[in-house]
Structure 1
């Protein structure tokens, strides 16, 4: 990877829908050259996908929480499947320290949050942190 690849990655992180022609103008290459670089970045696994960033509040999910779970290792695989299937859970991380998993989830109301916490407690103990605000929510890595 060279500096142009890094520049392409940075631009795509900020706007994954930018036309190749415009991206080519910015990095001073031809559109076919940029398209080939993007293809190589995708094929090598540097770029793993493109997603829409959704405003969950506009979908009625105004409560965001971080739920930290402590569980025994034998429950982890089953818990990960549960997390994968639950629509409220956005992220699930296996973590170090005194906890096993960290979850980011969004909810319509406290009743929905309480219901999810109750289900999670079948796997282990929980601590729930309500997110007041997210000053940095999506940030480019480069």
Structure 2
């Protein structure tokens, strides 16, 4: 699927606010709401748009510290470690 200038404008709107209505996007880019919906659906089907996310503020939730910790797991202990760390509410992301 090719991305034309209109699709780029729609993507920019969604990056600013993934919950922006098709009507609002249409007003901003100069097309109808159904045209926006059709283009968004095509970009989702082509996996150009892969997900919609909600970003939260750990600080506003009462978490005053953000830390990135590097660990090295012994042979055969990585899977048990990952299974255990997923149970902690405080762990937001785990990278490997």
TM-score range, shorter chain: 0.7 to 0.9
Give CA-to-partner distance per residue, 1:42-86, whole Å, 9 cap, x none: 233332332322222221111110111112352222333233332
Identify which of 34, 37, 40 aligns with 1:38. 40
Greater share of strand: 1
**Higher relative contact order, chain-length normalized (CA < 8 Å, sep 6+):** 1
How much does 1:32 deviate? Answer: 0.7
**Unpaired stretches in structure 2, ≥5 consecutive residues:** none
The count of residues paired between Structure 1 and Structure 2 equals: 94
Which residue of structure 1 aligns with residue 64 of structure 2? Answer: 62
- What's the C-alpha RMSD, in Å, of the aligned pairs? 1.9
Which residue of structure 2 aligns with residue 74 of structure 1? Answer: 76
Report the Cα distance in structure 2 between the residues aligned to 1:47 and 1:85, rounded to whole angstroms: 29
Residue 8, structure 1, aligned to residue 10, structure 2: yes
Report the Cα distance in structure 1 between the residues aligned to 2:6 and 2:79, rounded to whole angstroms: 40
**Unpaired stretches in structure 1, ≥5 consecutive residues:** 95-142
Which residue of structure 1 aligns with residue 21 of structure 2? Answer: 19
